[in-house]
Amino acid sequence: MATTAATNLLRRPGVAFRTMSDDTARFQVNHAQNERSRQARAHFEDTSSVAPAVKKIHRTVEFLDLVTACHSFVAAVGRAVPGLRDRTLGEDEATIVHQNVAKVRATLDWIETAVDTGKVDMDDELARMLRGE
């Protein structure tokens, strides 16, 4: 009964807007949506005859996403670095660039580890570094 009442109330745009302004309510709705999606995906993978083909396509897309990210990085750096010609960075600017280069190196090591070993979990040190801690 509570579900029906909540559903009927949320169909009202004003109520839905005010509800989504509440961080806890929005988090719970997002969590429910993600859980429903996860359950639907698990059901599909367990019952569908085409699930193996879809999984293969998904893995190909993940591979292409990684290759595209690497290519995009190289292309962006190839455009940005020449812009430094005849320019000396200030101490603060150089520090920021060096910090970001360290993040890039750590991320590249993580990519290589994932490719070589299949271990995709990010270690705590890398996670802290990428968060800027």
Boundary (domain end) residue, out of 46, 63, 81 = 46
- Number of structural domains the chain divides into: 2
User: Is 74 inside any structural domain?
Assistant: no
User: Is 59 inside any structural domain?
Assistant: no
- SS3 assignment, position 81: helix
What is the C-alpha separation between 103 and 97, in angstroms, rounded? 10
- Structural domain including 111 reads 89-133
pTM score of the predicted model: 0.62
Dihedral sign, Cα of residue 122, residue 125, residue 126, residue 128: positive
Q: What is the residue type of 28? A: Q
Per-residue pLDDT at 34: 93
| Averaged pLDDT in 10-residue chunks for the chain of 133 residues | 83 85 88 93 92 92 95 96 92 94 92 91 80 77
User: Is 110 inside any structural domain?
Assistant: yes
